[in-house]
Structure 1
Amino acid sequence: MVRDKYKNLRYRLMETERWPLKYMFKFITPNEEGKVDQIKSILPEHGETTFRHTANLKHVSVTCVALMDSADQIVEITEKVDKIEGVIVL
């Protein structure tokens, strides 16, 4: 079950006493048509998103720093991106 995969992340985030929290999402995706756009559509619009290609241009690193209101928001976004084929969640 996907939710169990992020149980530890949720637990660690819930230990944080200060919300909202600035959180950094980081993903690596194959440099294939539409993959980066799929990730961008899931990430918070108010986040600061950056992209870096690997030297051989086969993959793209996507980083987004955003102010998040809860652990549930963070886990929900991470789970959605994790469903995109070929994406690695860091």
Structure 2
Amino acid sequence: MSLQDYNKLKELLAQNKKWPLLYMFKFIVPNTEGKVQKVVDQLPKHGSVTFKHTKNLKYVSVTCKASMKSPDAIINVTNTISSIDGVMSL
């Protein structure tokens, strides 16, 4: 994600007046070199995580639903995970 995308996401999240907020993180992760585990390690520990593999097992969709305290907390998680090589944030 670009800095502009993060700023837009933060602005949209800040419009919500009810915090904490149940947020759904979703990432597409290459199924190589332990990258799925790297992503899971960066997700909120209190969240529920689900996985869905592509038919050829080349990629894994990682979804996490977690109660988040602020827009900054969401941006921090998204930014950290998006910096892992090959990971796409949805």
TM-score by length of structure 1 reads 0.95
Instruction: Specify every segment of 5 or more residues in structure 1 that has no aligned partner in the other structure, as ranges.
Output: none
- Residue 48 of structure 2 is aligned to residue 48 of structure 1: yes
What are the superposed Cα offsets for residues 22-74 of structure 1, whole Å, 9 maximum, x if unpaired?
00000001110210111011100000000110011100000000000000000
- Aligned-partner SS, 2:85: coil
Instruction: Specify every segment of 5 or more residues in structure 2 that has no aligned partner in the other structure, as ranges.
Output: none
Q: What residue is the counterpart of 1:58 in the other structure?
A: 58
Q: What residue is the counterpart of 2:7 in the other structure?
A: 7
TM-score by length of structure 2 reads 0.95
Give me the CA root mean square deviation.
1.3
- Residue 73 of structure 2 is aligned to residue 73 of structure 1: yes
Aligned counterparts, 1:17-28, within 5 A: 17-28=17-28
Q: Deviation at 1:2?
A: 4.9
- The percent of aligned pairs where both chains have the same amino acid is 49
- After superposing on structure 2, the runs of 4+ consecutive aligned residues of structure 1 that deviate more than 2 Å are 1-5
- Structure 2 letter corresponding to 1:89: S
Say if 1:53 and 1:60, in contact at 8 Å, map to a contact too: yes
Quick one: distance in 1 between partners of 2:89 and 2:10?
15
Quick one: distance in 2 between partners of 1:83 and 1:77?
10
Say if 1:2 and 1:79, in contact at 8 Å, map to a contact too: no
